[in-house]
Structure 1
Amino acid sequence: MADHDLSRLKIDRQAAAAGVRLRPRRRWLRYAAIAVVLLALAGIAIRLASPRPVQTATVTSAFPTQNFTLLNATGYVVPQRKAAVASKAQGRLEWLGVLEGSRVKKDEVIARLESKDVAASFAQAQAQVQVAQANLALQQAELKDAEVNLRRSRILIVPNAISRTQYDADVARFDKARASVNSSRASVVSAQANARAAEVAVEQTVVRAPFDGVVLVKHANVGDNITPFSAAADTKGAIVTIADMETLEVEADVAESNIARIRVDQPCELLLDALPGLRLAGQVSRIVPTVDRSKATVLVKVRFVDRDARVLPDMSAKIAFLSRAATAQDRQPVVAVQPAAIATRDGRQVVYVVRDGKAHEMTVKTGNKLGELVAVQGVKPGDVVVLSPGDQIGDGSRVATSKP
């Protein structure tokens, strides 16, 4: 009995060694599980803290006329009255009184050519007129004397106081004197015509503005040889190019498939690329009745109803052909965004404006639809907003922007 009790006091070294081996393994498993949980939590935290990629759009200004625009086209500003001014005379340019941008009035002298040779010819022609007039006076005196002799001969021939031969000689002298007077009168008319031609030649050396306008291009300088009807070397044809700024129109090529949507006197809105903040009212002036077969287009000309002194020839312009005339309110810009940028939060319409890498919630009030945009109040043009924010985006969320 005592031996049996003593056997219980014996240490089982194999079981003790196995217990030692099991305890560290369980401890490491517990540590690994905790590490996995911590890593998962850290990943979630990093994901929540990292910027969320979003697509953005820019708040812009739009015009209500977009709602009743039938067709858009592009074209250029063109003056309908434009002239390359030159002189019919040939010679060296002696004086030029205008520069690019100079405003001129009709018949204003803008240039002169050397005129000494034609002026001398004019003086000679005037002298020939005086010679012809002197000859006429002489022939008229001769006619008067012949008429007196003939009257005397008619009295004396009745009583046979003079011979018939003498009478016939007096008649012939009178007829000759009368013919000489007629010839001298014709010579005077011819000399006067020559003088007028010489005067015109002198006048042609003076270049005048054909109409009220503005000088667009200066082709020649003082000292250049002007030969409008020749292509000789180192010569100029035109002196300046003048345009009437009151006749500015916009010319645009419209596809023939869309020409049925355009009519004469149709209201338009004109937007110039050089003046982006300016919108001018226009009206279809005429439709050129021919088709450009190479481009399948028809030329349409639109006149300005509203004018602006800053509009210049050859400016590029966009034309919006409208279904009705635009009112003053229609021509006022409104703030607009893409509909996808508007979200609903707690019954409110909001947009998320991106600033410094974060989305800031802004409450907005929507208005009418403007084409593909929606009018809003609460943001300003130039703000960058998140498109399709969804439930993941909130006020203060970090975002990484990219445009669609």
Structure 2
Amino acid sequence: MAEAQAQKLDVLRIDRAARPRRKLPRRWPLWVGLLLILALAVTLLGTNRVPSVQVAEVREARPGEQQTELTATGYVSSRRRSVIAPQIPGRLVSVEVDEGDAVKQGQVLARLDERDARVIEARAQADLQAATQRLVSTRATAARAKQDLARAEQLAKAQVITPASLQAAQAAARAMSAEVRLAVAQRVAAERAAEAARLQLTHTVVRAPFQGTVVRKLADEGAVLAPAAIEQQNVGGIVELVDLSALEVEAEVSEEQLPRIQKDQPALVFLDAYPDQTFRAQVRSVRPTIDRAKATATVNVQFESIPPGVLPDMGARVAFLKEELPPDALEREDATLRVLSSSVVKDGGQSLVWVVRDGRLVRQPVRVTQKVGDEVVLAEGPPPGTQVVVSPEAKLRAGRKVKVQTEGG
């Protein structure tokens, strides 16, 4: 009985060893394909990436570079430059000049409404006349009081009048003398008031304090002006006047370089507006103060002769020289091209530079004659201002598109 039940249980038992095993799918070819596609995409992206290159410009050597002690930048300014404003408040009636006009010292620049000033001047004249008449009348009264005193003294000696009457005459004479002094003082005050009124009237006419050129017109007819001018904000200015015969360059020199600057030291000025011209100059003065924020001092460099066409606030570069240049040094036509020596590479015995033109690389052969500092002199090469790659990599190819990166960035 027990054996029969055991056999039945054996029949019901599951044979796990006899169950067929499922085959796992082979997915590794799919993963390999994905990895290959990813590697190909990375390769394509690296190939199409635009490389960034650092560039420098081919420049033309300027006169006096061998004698240059140091260089500094600055701006053209004038020793005489002023915002012309009225000395009294008032309404602007007319402006007699325009921008660009050359004016002489004392020339009329503008006129203010003078009606109020004329009323004040007429009243002051009337007060002066009244004070004058008051003084004349007081002096006449004082003269009579003096005569009365003399008569009273004679009568007192003859004992005709009492001492009290004599004292009254003396007091009256002293009082009139005081009245005369008061009248004189009042007349002097009236004269000063009349002078002030006349001066106020003359201040309605604004004149040029010095000879110069009108560079800006700051107000038009009808404006109500106050007698003040604040830098960068016009409150009462009518015009800005600049003496173009007193132009100079204000150059900023670092404080550690100041010992290399001396008064009357020769210099050359290069203006951004006239890159092909060089102007002789010399150091006029060093401003006796240091800009704490920039650690620089201002050096005033005056032109040997004021060049035509130069205007205030033009950008300038100053080369301070070790010694004076010969008279014909600036007229020589031997300017040479220079470029950073790290821009020139050798390729098969030939010197060349990589020029960036329209965002793409171009091979440009050059002929180097000598090395000066960190630059080389080119006898043949691209024109001034051409951008060339600094320290080019060997993998650069002609026609490849590149992104220009400045030397500071």
* Shorter-chain TM-score range: 0.5 to 0.7
Deviation larger for 163-172 or 144-153: 163-172
How many angstroms does 1:94 deviate by? 0.6
Q: Relative to structure 1, is the Cα distance of residues 229 and 301 closer, same or farther in structure 2, using a 3 angstrom cutoff? A: closer
Q: Aligned partner of 1:304: which letter? A: F
1:269 maps to which residue? 268
| Cα distance between partner residues in 2 of 1:310 and 1:208 | 26
1:151 maps to which residue? 150
| Cα distance between partner residues in 1 of 2:122 and 2:280 | 57
2:184 maps to which residue? 185
* Contact 1:219–1:236, Cα closer than 8 Å, also in 2: no
Q: Which whole-Å deviations, capped at 9, do the CAs of 1:124-183 have from their partners, x for residues lacking one?
A: 011101001001101111111122222222222222233333322322222222111111
Deviation larger for 218-227 or 207-216: 207-216
Structure 1: give runs of 5+ residues left out of the alignment: 1-57, 341-358, 360-365, 384-399
How many residues align? The count is 315
Q: Aligned partner of 1:334: which letter? A: D
Structure 2: give runs of 5+ residues left out of the alignment: 1-56, 342-363, 385-397, 401-409
1:253 maps to which residue? 252
SS across alignment from 2:251:
strand
| Cα distance between partner residues in 1 of 2:170 and 2:258 | 84
How many angstroms does 1:221 deviate by? 0.4
SS across alignment from 2:187:
helix
Q: Aligned partner of 2:66: which letter? A: N
2:223 maps to which residue? 224
* Contact 1:60–1:335, Cα closer than 8 Å, also in 2: no
* Contact 2:249–2:301, Cα closer than 8 Å, also in 1: yes
| Cα distance between partner residues in 2 of 1:160 and 1:95 | 78
TM (norm. structure 2) is 0.66
How many angstroms does 1:370 deviate by? 12
How many percent of aligned residue pairs carry the same amino acid? 36
Q: Which whole-Å deviations, capped at 9, do the CAs of 1:188-237 have from their partners, x for residues lacking one?
A: 01111222222222222221212222111110001111124599xxx942
* Contact 1:225–1:236, Cα closer than 8 Å, also in 2: no
* Contact 2:85–2:228, Cα closer than 8 Å, also in 1: no
2:353 maps to which residue? none
1:117 maps to which residue? 116
* Contact 2:285–2:299, Cα closer than 8 Å, also in 1: yes
How many angstroms does 1:305 deviate by? 1.6
* Contact 1:269–1:320, Cα closer than 8 Å, also in 2: yes
TM (norm. structure 1) is 0.66
Matched, 1:205 2:204: yes
| Cα distance between partner residues in 1 of 2:276 and 2:317 | 13
1:45 maps to which residue? none
Q: Relative to structure 1, is the Cα distance of residues 184 and 286 closer, same or farther in structure 2, using a 3 angstrom cutoff? A: same
| Cα distance between partner residues in 1 of 2:86 and 2:127 | 27
Q: Aligned partner of 2:257: which letter? A: N
Matched, 1:140 2:142: no
How many angstroms does 1:243 deviate by? 1.5
* Contact 1:83–1:243, Cα closer than 8 Å, also in 2: yes
> Superposed, which structure 2 residues align to 1:282-361 within 5 Å?
282-332=281-331, 333-337=333-337
| Cα distance between partner residues in 2 of 1:338 and 1:138 | 93
Q: Relative to structure 1, is the Cα distance of residues 89 and 291 closer, same or farther in structure 2, using a 3 angstrom cutoff? A: closer
1:172 maps to which residue? 171
* Contact 2:86–2:206, Cα closer than 8 Å, also in 1: yes
Q: Which whole-Å deviations, capped at 9, do the CAs of 1:274-298 have from their partners, x for residues lacking one?
A: 1233221111222234443433433
Deviation larger for 320-329 or 274-283: 274-283
How many angstroms does 1:86 deviate by? 0.7
* Contact 1:122–1:198, Cα closer than 8 Å, also in 2: yes
Q: Aligned partner of 1:198: which letter? A: A
